[in-house]
Structure 1
Amino acid sequence: MSTLLKPNHIGRKISRIRELKDMKQEALAQALGTNQQAISAMENSENVDEEKLIQVAKALGVSVEAIKNFSEEAVLNIIGNTINNHDNASSFNYGCTFNPLDKVVELYERLVQAEKDKVEYLEKLLKGK
Structure 2
Amino acid sequence: METATKPNHIGRKISRIRELRGMKQETLAEELGISQQAVSKIEQSEKIEDEKLEQIANVLGVTKESIEKFSDEAVLNIISNTFNDSSILNGINFQPNFNPLDKVLELYDEKEKLYERLLQAERDKITYLEKLLKEK
TM-score normalized by structure 1?
0.70
After the TM superposition, which residues 69-88 of structure 1 pair with which residues of structure 2 at under 5 Å, given as runs? Answer: 69-85=69-85
Moved more, 76-85 or 22-31: 76-85
State percent identity of aligned pairs: 55
Q: Within 2, Cα distance between the matches of 1:106 and 1:38?
A: 57
Matching residue's letter, 2:102: D
Structure 1 runs of 4+ with >6 Å offset: none
Residue 11 of structure 1 is matched in structure 2 by 11
Give the equivalent residue in structure 1 for 2:44: 44
Where in structure 2 are the equivalents of 1:26-105 lying within 5 Å?
Answer: 26-85=26-85, 93-103=93-103, 104=105
In the alignment, structure 1 segments of 5+ residues that lack a partner are 116-129
Contact 2:87–2:95 (Cα < 8 Å) also in 1: no
Shift of 1:95: 3.2
Counterpart of 1:44, as a letter, is Q
What is the CA distance between 1:6 and its match in structure 2? 3.3
Count of residues in correspondence between the two structures = 110
8 A Cα contact 1:83 1:91, kept in partner? no
For normalisation by structure 2, the TM-score amounts to: 0.67
For 2:65, the aligned partner's letter is E
Q: Which amino acid aligns with 1:33?
A: G
Q: Deviations over 1:99-118 (max 9, x none)?
A: 1333326974995xx99xxx
Q: Which residue of 2 aligns with 1:24?
A: 24
CA distance in 2, matches of 1:13, 1:56: 11
Q: CA deviation at 1:17?
A: 0.4
Question: Secondary structure in 2 aligned to 1:96?
Answer: coil
Whichever residue aligns with residue 59 of structure 2, its letter is A
Which residue type is aligned with residue 57 of structure 1?
Answer: A
